[in-house]
A and B are shown apart, each in its own frame.
Chain A
Amino acid sequence: MSSVALESVSKIYPGGAAVQDLDLEIAAGGFVVLLGPSGCGKTTTLRMIAGFVEPTQGRVLIGGRDVTRVPPRHRDIGMVFQNYALFPNMTVAQNIGFGLRHRGADRARIRRRVDEMLELIHLEGKGDSYADELSGGQQQRVALARALAASPQLLLMDEPLGALDQKLRENLQVELLRIQRELGITTVLVTHDQQEAMVLADRIVVMAGGRIQQAGTPRELYRRPANAFVADFMGKNNLMQGRGVGAAERLEIDLGSGCRMPLPAGACRGGEDLRIGVRPEQLDVGPVEGACIPATVEEARFLGNVAHYFLRTPWGQQLLAERFGGDCVYPAGSVVGVRWKPGDVVVLDGAGARHA
């Protein structure tokens, strides 16, 4: 298994830059997910690793070898495409054996390997079917088997589960993880689905505007987002703008309309404009007393395991609070006190403009 490295890679199109000055190292055997909204450059990055897009600048290394000018078929990569791209004129077995066949393996070895792969994806006996006779989930697994059959040193996946419904997607995520761990193959997956990224990745690379916003474990990105974009993109977040007041020991944020809430010690200097983020599950909703923000419940939604409160603050912002236990204690129209622990506050950069 091989490591992958992108060294100050850029892809500039006549209309603008798709990827700008990107540095990325992926350890051998790792599972990295490139995550971001559409147009963020994640797919272009994946296609540069695959060799379908030639970087305008920079180098692509696979297993330490510079492959920047190497055509895709000599990069020793397996790839799962969006919508699978299975060959409709070939059987499942021919699809899976495609890579081996074109790398000159003999018939017996191809047959053995195809059987192994069919077993791996639990589709024994489906070798003679055609792709359009299979369900979406089965097609996805065949696409994975085709990518892995020739034992490549790197597996790339472009939104591999995007076309499937939620339940099937969750099952296949588990399946994908099992196979990836079993083979220990270095894997790079592209998705816009934050949940999927957190399930699969041991490292997530959040991209926006052709640049990496933050790279880290799912926990790091969720708990310690580096900027407002990551804070907002990874899960739900309540971003609030205010001014730091007080000093050292007793720092507070002035949110306007006379609302002040405590900040963790050393979070900022007094008098500084700043933006903070508090997760919906960390907003406590209770009676109006002590240090809290008095807010009006605009809507209370029963979601089974949790309840969602949409709250209007005195300065006019809407906040979302997520409380465990599905029953809505506070009906719409009631006034509640919103509070949070200083330790749960993430202080983001000033206005966040740097990353917008």
Chain B
Amino acid sequence: MSGSRAAETGRGGANTIRWGAFLAPPLLLSLALLVLPQASFLWMSFHEDLGLGQSSETASLVNYVRIVTDPFYLHSIWLTVYLSAAAAAIGLVLGFATAYALARLGGWRARLALSLILTTSLITIVIKLMGLNLMLGASGLVNQALLAVGAVASPVAFVNNELGVLIGLVQYTLPILVLMLFGVVQTIPVGLEEAAAIHGASRAAIFARVILPLARTGLIGGGLIAFNMGMGAFTSAVLLGGGRVLTMPVLIQQKMIQSSEYGMGAALSTVLLVLVFTVNIVVATCVTRRRGSRP
């Protein structure tokens, strides 16, 4: 009896579509394109580079040991984390302010602004960064203006340094943050703010006690996305860092393409991947745990 029922279900019945089957092709494709290269990368990272693209036959931890002992690599890791975190923090502040204003403005004006933001985020990052480079260069618009009003005596070095990379990363992540946080603010009813206002809360108190706690999960999610984007950002780091700011993506590219140190490149990639995963998992765990105690 139960066997025939199982067979019935197995055949799918008249109205049952086996949606699981649709997932098989993309799953296989992802496996082929993501997991296999990563596995071969991981395998490569355990082999020391012998120069000229050759690597040792025997597996060892040499590459990893060098990464965690050599100040050069440690600084690169620190630089990448610090710039990504700073860009995420700046992006959250600017993005939340913009998203909040747009969500509360509402109507066609907000829709227009959002579609403009979406459009800019679809322009290739190279073009946007070249524009920034021109604007922020020693003889760019910004420095000319600053010199003209006498705010500075000599041009400020906005680009080809860490500041440049930071500006580039904010530029890169801001549109996505605004779009994402717009949705977050929209889930906070204006009625809650009014309820707080009429029962004595100032603007600052409403922000701290109502808006911020309710947007918390969304802000953390947005912050993680911006952080992850920053950790993997290559173009911003190269174009606005002028090749002088060696974040991990830049370093990996140099190892793999310029000096053919595949083992080291692979080890750096693995460290980057593990780092990003760890940060995300730790933050996500903390968020869920706090949620559990405060539904």
Contacts and interface: CB of A to CB of B under 8 A. Distances in A.
B198 A72 contact: yes
A265 interface: no
B204 to A, nearest CB: 11
Given A52-B194, A72-B194, A133-B295, A85 B199 contact: no
Contact of B194 (A81, A89, A102): A81
Contacts of A310: none
B201 A73 contact: yes
Which residue, of B191, B195, B202, B213, has the highest number of chain A Cβ atoms within 10 A? B195
A51 interface: yes
A98 B201 contact: yes
A195 B201 CA distance: 35
A146 B199 contact: yes
Contacts of B213: 89
A132 B295 CA distance: 9
Interface string B213-233: 110000000000000000000
A180 B273 CA distance: 63
Nearest to B200: A102
Interface in A145-201: 146-147, 150
Interface string A64-92: 00000001110101110111011111000
A89 B294 contact: yes
B194 A85 contact: yes
Interface residues of A, number: 29
A99 interface: yes
A87 B200 contact: no
B192 A85 contact: yes
B214 A88 contact: yes
A12 B104 CA distance: 21
Which residue, of B194, B199, B209, B213, has the highest number of chain A Cβ atoms within 10 A? B199
B50 interface: no
Contact of B195 (A75, A79, A89, A132): A79
Contact of B199 (A71, A88, A133, A147): A147
Interface residues of B, number: 19
A89 B212 CA distance: 10
A87 to B, nearest CB: 6
B191 A72 contact: no
Contact of A73 (B191, B192, B197, B209): B197
A73 B200 contact: yes
A99 B199 CA distance: 5
A274 interface: no
Given A99-B200, A132-B295, A133-B295, A87 B195 contact: yes
Nearest to A105: B200
B191 A102 contact: no
A348 interface: no
A152 B15 CA distance: 60
A320 interface: no
Which residue, of B198, B209, B294, has the highest number of chain A Cβ atoms within 10 A? B198
B196 A87 contact: yes
B199 A150 contact: yes
Given A88-B214, A89-B214, A89-B294, A98 B199 contact: yes
Given A73-B198, A75-B198, A78-B199, 14 more contacts: A50-B198, A52-B197, A72-B197, A78-B198, A79-B195, A81-B191, A83-B191, A85-B189, A98-B201, A102-B201, A102-B205, A130-B294, A132-B295, A133-B295
Interface of A: 50-52, 71-73, 75, 77-79, 81-83, 85-89, 98-99, 101-103, 130, 132-133, 146-147, 150
10 interchain residue pairs of minimum CB distance: A102-B200, A99-B199, A85-B191, A85-B195, A89-B213, A72-B198, A102-B201, A103-B200, A72-B197, A79-B198
